[in-house]
Amino acid sequence: MTCDSGGRRVFLARLVASGAGCALAGARALGAEEAGLNPTPARWWKPLPDGWAECGVCPRACRISEDERGTCGTRENRGGKLYTLVHSRPCSLAIDPVEKKPFFHVLPGSTALSLATAGCNLECKCCQNWEIAQARPEQVPSMTLTPADVVALAKRKGAPLVACTYTEPVVFSEYVLDIAVAGRKAGVRTVMISNGYVQEQPLADLCREIAAYKVDLKGFDAGFFRRHTGGELKHVLDTLRRLRRHGTWTEIVALVIPTQNDSEAETRALARFVRDEVGPETPVHFTRFHPSYRLQNLPSTPVAVLERCRGVAMAEGLRFVYLGNVPGHPGESTYCPGCGKVLVRRFGMAVAENRLKDGACPDCRRRLPGIWS
């Protein structure tokens, strides 16, 4: 991916000198710091000839000329060196139940300090947070919050987790990593809610510090994935394999979109991949689609389709298969794979009952995989 549109800042500087377009050009000419950005040296990149730089954070591997940015809009070449513009600049901040992420095998019933910066490296047609995910960092209001500030705020709010979520944490991986390092020292765990579109080295660095990684697997057909996201499915599958090798707790969400990725054959292929290459005890959440962003013409997913997906996945040997966006459905709850008893009963994002004892079933003592304490 080559990114060079002729030197945006040079053009604006000339525009200012000419006296034309004063409002827009004047705002940009203030510089990134005054515009609310935070240029910080990027961690994963390499220099190229003639002042170009190649980003190493995601599989797009954008080749960026001076004064230009990569596809995500958050990484800029300045003088032949790559900078992230969103370190310590979240645009969204909230306290959420961990079930909202969703993580069902990570501290059930707990809360997470959730944050995001602007930007994403994919262009999903049904993006729920497109106002910030598909925006450049200077286009949305943001605040300054250092990694130490984030951890201190989580502690004050009684949240044992920091969740990097809402947009795409891969594009603010330096910030995620620094939060995770600070959090470990203070007893606060960091989790990622991600599309999994990340290169091998940043993923390895992140996995040394974070507690869990949830992958939004947008589909299991390469053609659909490319049309729907602008990316390549193989890179996400590589991420899932690597997460297993790193031993990082992983959960998977599959958004089921009517007529697009809801066939029984695709569901079966996905389930077999997870079983064989990620692990049969990896939780998989089949989530109900609702019309949004550029997919307003499709209906919400019928519950019967989600139930069929769950049945297929369980028949293929997956032990923890959940339904999402169907409050009150039995498929939201966690069952013991040994005796079949309900262990964590959920209603939407709320935990109504948690019978786990030290991560095990109190009836048959079968241990369940996850992060329980």
Cα 18 from chain centre? 43
Sign for the pseudo-dihedral over CA of 141, 146, 147, 152: negative
Look at residue 10 in the predicted model and tell me its pLDDT: 38
Residues 65/52, Cβ–Cβ less than 8 Å: yes
Spatial neighbors of 4 by CB under 8 A, at least 6 apart, are 64, 65, 68
pLDDT tens per residue, the chain (373 residues)? 655 444 444 333 333 333 333 332 222 333 444 466 899 999 999 999 999 999 999 999 999 999 999 999 999 999 999 999 999 999 999 999 999 999 999 999 999 999 999 999 999 999 999 999 999 999 999 999 999 999 999 999 999 999 999 999 999 999 999 999 999 999 999 999 999 999 999 999 999 999 999 999 999 999 999 999 999 999 999 999 999 999 999 999 999 999 999 999 999 999 999 999 999 999 999 999 999 999 999 999 999 999 999 999 999 999 999 999 999 999 999 999 999 999 999 999 999 999 999 999 999 999 999 999 9
Burial 91-121 (b: 16+ CB within 10 A, else e): bbeeebbbbbbbbbbbbbebbbbbbbbbbbb
Tell me how long the chain is: 373
**Residue 116, helix vs strand vs coil:** strand
CA–CA separation, 32 vs 334, rounded Å? 47
Q: Give the model's pLDDT for residue 1.
A: 60
The predicted pLDDT at position 13 comes to 37
Instruction: Please say whether the beta carbons of 173 and 57 come within 8 A.
Output: yes
Query: CB 242: neighbour CB atoms within 10 A?
Result: 17
Global pTM exceeds 0.75: yes
Q: What is the pLDDT of residue 34?
A: 42
Alpha-carbon dihedral 189, 194, 197, 200, rounded to 10 degrees: 10
Could you tell me the end-to-end alpha-carbon distance of the chain, in angstroms, rounded to an integer?
43
CA distances to 5, 154, 299, 309, 312 from 259, in Å: 37, 41, 10, 14, 17
Sheet holding 40-41, edge to edge: 40-41, 81-84, 75-78
Strand-by-strand arrangement of the 53-55 sheet? 2-3, 63-64, 53-55, 45-47
Q: What is the pLDDT of residue 19?
A: 37
| Cα distance between residue 226 and residue 249, in whole Å | 27
Residue tagged 């079966």 (tokens):
268
